[in-house]
Structure 1
Amino acid sequence: MSRNTLVVPQATQALDQLKYEVAQELGIQLSPDGYNGNLRTYDAGKIGGTITRKLVQIAEQSLGGSSSNWR
């Protein structure tokens, strides 16, 4: 179980859905029962990195700019 706490607890379902969508895009099979103990660390990192990139992209779009404005 993750130790991270979500600021918006209702986001759990959306994040899980995003995780499965990203895994499917990358061609990585996730277990539907939630146990992914057989998942390679490399694959888990690819999923997490892609999710992070997508979330940053969504945040940038909602702010109406890009990260280069913050330098």
Structure 2
Amino acid sequence: MLLVHIKKYYESTTGEVIPTDQYDALHISPVHIHKNKVSHKKAILTLGKEIVQHIRTHHNPYIEYHADFQSEQIATEH
């Protein structure tokens, strides 16, 4: 469920859509509790791979730190 939330958050903040064709083809979601552990593991790894591939393809692979908020540092990807 965490990766699904990460995907939705990323899409809402960037306006980009992460294509998840391989994940969607598995026809399994976090709420499918009747599916076995192996199927869920494959779905998690597939979704994670598609999210990372999208970010690597569309953004530079480095992280820059900004101290925009008082004493907090926030990691941002460019």
Q: Aligning the two structures, in what range does the TM-score lie when normalised by the shorter sequence?
A: 0.3 to 0.5
Structure with more strand by fraction: 2
Which structure has the greater CA radius of gyration? 2
| TM score, norm. by length of structure 2 | 0.44
